[in-house]
Structure 1
Amino acid sequence: MAEWFRRTVVETGRLPLFCFFAGVIVGFLFIRFSVRMIRAQVKWWPGNVTPGGGMHIHHVVFGVVFMLLAGVLSFVVPDERTVWRSVLAGLFGVGAALVLDEFALILHLEDVYWSEKGRTSIDAVFVAISVTGLLVLGVRPVGIEDLVQAGIVGGGLLGYSLAAAVALTYLGLAATTLLKGKIWTGLLGLFIPVLLFVGAIRLARPHSPWARWRYQEPDPRTAAKLAKAKWREVQLRRPAIKTKIWLQELVAGHHDAPPER
């Protein structure tokens, strides 16, 4: 394991990235443990940060401070100081975890942390961990240089033009997949291109922008597509979503608070 870590992470210069990855995971697990202790009103746990006046300081504030501190200091530390750059990357990862854990609060501009809308924050953290994990392992989004180096297209102006066309095609497929409501498929497809073809060809989710634009026409064919998309959502996707929610709440707690009016 140590040899794999040295070859895959240290020797490739990805140690700061790994520390950022570890910082996101550690920061997310710690803050979720903290908020669950606070919600359960455990007496020995410190509780919320509430200075004079009863104002509750959300942990997204501390996340922003950590990210700014680590980001500014990273410009000061020379590139050859790998250890210090890795420490700052870890601190930046902790700050990013605190910010993403309250992503739903930023998105809706209201405290929806324990409500149904609050699950958006968990999705954001899971996406960040997944994408960063792929980068740590050396999996990169397909770019022009990658296509040329892989020999898919030749060098020179013509080769780079073809590579650019292929890369733009991938981006178009990714945009189509995301518009069809398939967030995970679209993001992971940037690293595994075959997923983009699958996501772009298959039917859109019934409440996605693509479905609103393409499946609402008074035409038997589009009506059949919408009906099939709704059937897939209920029969196939909903059980998968329930499994995902079960896993999220196992880690992050139950998001069952009624929405504030």
Structure 2
Amino acid sequence: MPSISLKIVQDEGAVTRKVKFHTDWTVKEALKVVKDKVIVPNKGQEYALFLRSADDNLSGVWLEDDRTLGYYMIKDGDSLDYICRTKNLRIRLLDGTLKTLPVDEVKTVGEAMMDICARIGIKNYDEYGLCKEEVEETEDGKEGKENKEQGGSGLTLKRAKPAKERDVVLEQMSKRLKTDDNVEWLDQHRSIREQGFDFKETLLLKRRLFYSDRNVDSRDPVQLHLLYVQTRDAILQGRHPVTEQQGTCTQRLLLN
């Protein structure tokens, strides 16, 4: 039965301990050994093992409980992160509201959306997604600093560009093979950490899919408000082209 010595890393590298394992042990068995060997603030919390990517120190894979260590081709001297499964995630809504919610890091984004939307009060969780927050620069090149200091969302709309320049920009954006809304969504089938996201950052919650107007519950104030803000911003930022007449009507509605 071959044995290997692995570095168990805690607190983003603040603490490292060497622990011996057998390659045919399951990850679940390895976790029991690690729990006895390392010191954690709360033994009642659930932990998991994370193998960082060799190419990217942020991304990687979570080790599944029923897999053996040998399955992941872990070598003697390799490092594994011992991470608490529950992590506070900062999420910003399109109206600027900032929420800090606990998420299970091991869950995929699709699975986590069920818990996130339930806490916010959104019923149709499968129509929403998470994307990285893009901070727009103001005219003086600052990233909305004054807006943040005044308690705003910190997001500033870009000044409208000339029609020709805007068309070129939109064409370039469309070539990135993202979505119709040109948003780079987090993969629904992988966890947040596996996609290299730093939990010190903030994620933006947006509506990702529009199945039918029938799915919009007119009695759900949370859903209606978020849908209104997202549609308004898409029109004002030129992501949803409209005719002059439609734009005038929309402007009147927004002003009211």
Superposed pair shares fold, TM > 0.5: no
Instruction: Compute the TM-score of the two structures, normalised by the length of structure 1.
Output: 0.25
More helix by share: 1
Instruction: Compute the TM-score of the two structures, normalised by the length of structure 2.
Output: 0.25
More strand by share: 2
